[in-house]
Amino acid sequence: MAGVNLNIQEGAPFQYTWTLSNPSVSNPAVAGTPVDLTNAKAECQIKDAPDSTNAAYLALSSATPTPNGSSIILGGVAGTVELNIAWQDTVGLPSGVYDVHILLGDGKTMVVIPMGAVVVTPQVTSFA
């Protein structure tokens, strides 16, 4: 799976969904079927650079939403991974990079959605 660039409009909610498929190399009998994300956990960070030690601009989790409700929703046997960012969390969000790490329900297997760019288009109108 190649990285996907996320284009976010500042001040607007953002949502993006992937479907994770089983690779053909591990078991050809299940190749292309959705990865079972039942009991899995996911985390995502938007940062200034891949190897940055600076704090994340925004951290998302499937376990705990941000105070504004931004989170990652995992779709169980459907294999979907949905990033949901509340409009409040896009205000002041700078452009950067992200990836998503998913610990499968077996507690041993890590799946990574490769890094992509986050491009935030500044808002023009703001409410008084």
Percent of the chain surpassing pLDDT 90:
79
Percent of the chain surpassing pLDDT 70:
94
> Does residue 110 carry a pLDDT above 60?
yes
Domain ranges of the chain: 6-117
CATH of domain 6-117: 2.60.40.10
> Does residue 6 carry a pLDDT above 80?
yes
Distances from the Cα of 39 to the Cα of 4, 11, 76, 79, angstroms: 25, 32, 7, 12
Confidence at residue 24, expressed as pLDDT on a 0 to 100 scale:
66
Confidence at residue 93, expressed as pLDDT on a 0 to 100 scale:
97
Higher pLDDT, 18 or 28: 18
> From its phi and psi, is residue 75 left (phi > 0), alpha (psi between -120 and 50) or beta?
alpha
CA distance 102 to 6: 18
**What does the DSSP assignment read for 6-40?**
EEEETTS-EEEEEE-B--TTT-GGGTTSBP--TT-
> Does residue 27 carry a pLDDT above 90?
no
Average confidence score pLDDT of the chain: 92
